[in-house]
Amino acid sequence: MKDMTVTYEVDGALYVNITNRCSNRCDFCIRNNGDGAYGSNSLWLSREPTCDEIFNSIVSCDPEKYSELVFCGYGEPTERLDDLISVAKRVKEKYSVKIRINTNGHSSLIHGCNTAPMYKDVIDTVSISLNAPNAKEYDKVCHSVFGENAFNGLLDFAARVKNYVPKVVLTVVDIALTPEEIEECKKIADSVGVPLRVRKYIGKE
């Protein structure tokens, strides 16, 4: 564990890095630019931390003092969905800190089933990167292993998971899209019944 950064602070929230795996290879991914994020140590993991190691790392940081616990990962956290949910449940049993997942929304595509119900009573916020106004553009910038199916897959996940968690948002990065494309993204977000957040580019979501 000494050689790995599992938890790190960003703007008063505690971020949790559980995997480097990802179903995308986004052109804008902060992993293309360096080893860390927001001044953290390297977020490349020499191996994936166990559930106990993740939990202990969270506990050692006194999670109650943070505004939120954010499963983010220098990769896609839902690649380890079972582990993520199991650790989040343990945290919820002991602490009242809110729990968010920053995700590419491929949870159900990765696991080949509807994963949305798993988030119920465990996760407070799911923040999903939309990145583009349509499947072709998404694939152009995100190079998903799911090809053009990735886009509809993430929208389907967003529409389903909003039935199980208090807050779901779709996000786009301001510099990546034209104002017209951002408008299109707003309409898409409306069509699945979740708000769109336009975030400033500072690296990984």
Q: Which is nearer to ligand SF4, 36 or 75 (CB)?
A: 75
Report the 10 Å Cβ neighbour count for 35.
Answer: 13
Name the segment binding ligand SF4 (CB under 6 A); options: 5-13, 18-26, 152-160, 163-171: 18-26
Provide the token pair at 186: 């707003």
Which one among 16, 26, 69, 109 touches ligand SF4, defined by CB under 6 A? Answer: 26
Q: Using CB under 6 A as the criterion, what x/- string covers residues 32-71 for binding ligand SF4?
A: ----------------------------------------
Provide the token pair at 182: 């951002």
The 3-state DSSP class for residue 166 equals: coil
Provide the token pair at 119: 């988030």
139 binds ligand SF4 (CB under 6 A): no
* Chain-centre distance for alpha carbon 104: 6
CA distance 17 to 45: 9
Which one among 14, 16, 29, 110 touches ligand SF4, defined by CB under 6 A? Answer: 29
Write the DSSP symbol of residue 205: -
Q: Which is nearer to ligand SF4, 25 or 47 (CB)?
A: 25
Report the 10 Å Cβ neighbour count for 199.
Answer: 13
Q: State the nearest-atom distance from the C-beta of 96 to ligand SF4, in Å.
A: 28
The 3-state DSSP class for residue 103 equals: strand
25 binds ligand SF4 (CB under 6 A): yes
104 binds ligand SF4 (CB under 6 A): yes
Write the DSSP symbol of residue 17: -
By the criterion CB under 6 A, which residues form the site for ligand SF4? Answer: 22, 24-26, 29, 31, 75-76, 104, 204-205
